Structure 1
Amino acid sequence: MRAARPSAARCAARSCGCCAARGRHHAPAVQSLSGDEFRAAVERAREYIALGEIYQLVLSVRFSGEHTLSPFETYRAMRLINPSPYMFFFDLGDVQVAGSSPEALVRLHGGRAALRPIAGTRPRGADQAEDLALEASLRADRKENAEHVMLVDLARNDLGRVASAGSVHVDPYKAIERYSHVMHIVSGVQGELAPGRDAFDLFAAAFPAGTLVGAPKVRAMELIDELEPVRRGLYAGTVGYFGNNGDMDQAITIRTLVFSEGRYSYQAGAGIVADSVAEAEYQEVLAKSAILRRALAMAEAGL
């Protein structure tokens, strides 16, 4: 006896495994930089660091391909596998955006400002013992910690430009936060907004995030333009709100998928410093983007 196929009504009511067979698929991603090209870009960035032009540079890779998926089903998959502080889906007509970002650029509530730099990454372990070992490795990693301290100092400097004198402080400092595929070192930089300053001043002081471009920011962005072959688009931007009451909350658009004209794209990067190892940085890019590949696969399979 042949098994009955799910009815159209059932498929409309909930996702099922027949969706891929009905034409939902995505092509394997093409990278803006191959592994070898990314590693070469890392070495070029290290040369600029050795020359004293920058202290750190965040290099990224775009992954893109054709698809016939439902962007909203992909967002549902992201909610299942990577619940994050900032979950968002926008249908803008010709463009859809689905994101599960762990990182705030800046928040402002009742005159109190907070930046939340994330720098320092390890993949999650297969079990608790491996996970704890990876956390210990991350905490002990001199390169990752030096990078984090530098970006915390950059965030303090950004906030200090618009905060009341003496109000800027760090809390928490070097906390470990875990997500579905990676763990990060996270700190909080806080302060009181100075009289005469508002949310727009604060945003202008903080954007773009040092954790997504490097330091110093202007020269880092110039080198990103040189070393990355495609414009970043929405990647490393923000989504959020400016409230009528003067409050603001802006999330950085990482772990984000963009759908447009039958194509999907996503992007991930790694912070390059003087003692970076090119292969390790490339593996970090792959680890950070793994959740997006998994979400696409789940949407294709029907969750």
Structure 2
Amino acid sequence: MGKEEFERIVGAAKEKIVDGEIFQVVLSRRYSLPFEGNLVRFYNRLKQTNPSPYMYFLSFGDRKIIGSSPENLVRVEGRKIDSFATLAGTMPRGETPEKDAQLERKLLGDEKERAEHLMLVDLTRNDLSKVSAFNSVSVPELMEVHKYRHVQHLSSHVVGQLQEGKDCFDAFDAIFPAGTLTGAPKVRAMELIEELEAGRRGPYGGAVGYFSFNRNCDFAINIRTLVAHRQKAHIQAGAGIVYDSVPEKEYEETENKMRSLLYALEAK
């Protein structure tokens, strides 16, 4: 999806927000290009150029999914539930330490980004409360800045304790798909995504991880990911749209999020 079309659907989403149908929706665009290179080499470059908490290379016959996701969806260890599924609010990295610090201050002071982030924190708290013991959901980390190679994000950490009779499968079911990839309210946001985006998302915005035999789990949100299929590579990135979003800036955010994968593709 090109710049003009993406800005058009951002405008359409803003109309839905003004009409009161929704508070926020995360719209994404896909970039596809020919690729016949060595995917293992690409993965190794990605580890060097954009190291992230979740690195993965998944092979499904002639379809490969290669990612460097910075964002946790849900983790269950014993009775504890963790979610960093509020990695929302984005700025590029600065070329110098001074410029980087300036952009960090700009991110922390951006009322739009802060309001959007708090909305998603509340959504995550609500999701976890469905399977958490009464009064156990808390936010030990709120709007901290996490820095990666090409972008920096506002991040919050939401935790809870599983209710008796609930397990890791219930926790996953309660939070999937991530609010940071849909919007709020979640169901109406997904309906608008289906209506406005050019095609089905496929793996993008899903989850990559595991359920273990001891009923623990750990899942990443499937972002910063390349899908390779039949000599083509597909990259997808999104931006959270709210009532005062500027379409051009939302397009720039998707460009910034794609940059790490494109850099690894171009590296020699």
TM-score (norm: length of structure 1): 0.87
Match of 1:144 in 2: 113
How many Å separate the matches in 1 of 2:155 and 2:38?
33
| Aligned counterpart, 1:255 | 224
Name the structure 2 match of 1:236. 205
Paired with 1:232 and 1:171, the residues of 2 have a C-alpha distance of 32
More strand by share: 2
Q: In the TM superposition, what is the alpha-carbon distance from 1:239 to its structure 2 partner?
A: 0.5
Structure 2 residue aligned with 1:58:
26
Per-residue deviation, 1:91: 2.0
How many Å separate the matches in 1 of 2:130 and 2:254? 32
- Matched with 2:79 is 111
Please report how far the alpha carbon of residue 40 of structure 1 lies from its aligned counterpart in structure 2 after TM superposition. 1.0
> Is the partner of 1:59 in helix, strand or coil?
strand
Q: Secondary structure at the match of 1:195?
A: coil
Q: Which residue of 1 aligns with 2:70?
A: 102
Give the Cα separation in 2 of the matches to 1:141 and 1:45.
21
Post-superposition offset of 1:96: 1.2
The offset of 1:262, in angstroms, is 1.0
**Paired position in structure 2 for 1:21:** none
Query: Following the alignment from structure 1 to structure 2, what is the Cα–Cα distance between the partners of residues 123 and 251?
Result: 22
SS in 2 for 1:76: helix
Counterparts of 1:112 and 1:131 in 2: how far apart (Å)? 35
The equivalent of 2:12 in structure 1 is: 44
- Aligned counterparts of 1:72 and 1:127: Cα–Cα separation in 2: 32
- Report deviation, 1:251: 0.3
Who is 1:74 aligned against? 42
1:273 aligns with 2:242: yes
Query: By how many angstroms is 1:261 displaced?
Result: 1.0
**TM-score normalised over the length of structure 2:** 0.98
Does the alignment pair 1:292 with 2:261?
A: yes
Q: 1:51-84 deviations in whole A, cap 9, x for unaligned?
A: 1111000010101122111111111111001100
Distance 1:209 1:101 in 2: 13
How far apart are residue 234 of structure 1 and its match?
A: 0.3
How many pairs align? Answer: 267
Amino acid at match of 1:256: T
C-alpha distance in 2 between matches for 1:172 and 1:223: 31
Give the deviation of 1:109 after TM superposition: 0.5
1:121 aligns with 2:90: yes
1:133 to 72, 79, 102: 102
Q: Which has the larger radius of gyration?
A: 1
Give, in angstroms, the shift of residue 230 of structure 1.
1.1
2:3 and 2:173 mapped to 1: Cα distance? 34
For residues 151 and 296 of structure 1, the distance between their equivalents in structure 2, rounded to whole angstroms, comes to 32
Distance in 2 (CA, whole Å) between partners of 1:68 and 1:40 is 33
Verify the 8 A CA contact 1:104 1:250 in the aligned structure 2.
yes
**1:35 aligned onto 2:7:** no
**Does 1:90 pair with 2:58?**
yes
> Who is 1:160 aligned against?
129
Unaligned runs of 5+ in 2: none
Contact 1:72-1:98 within 8 A present in 2 as well: no
Give the AA of the match of 1:44.
A
- RMSD, matched Cα: 0.7
Cα offset for 1:92?
2.1
% identity of equivalent residues: 50
Moved runs in structure 1, 4+ residues, more than 4 A? Answer: none
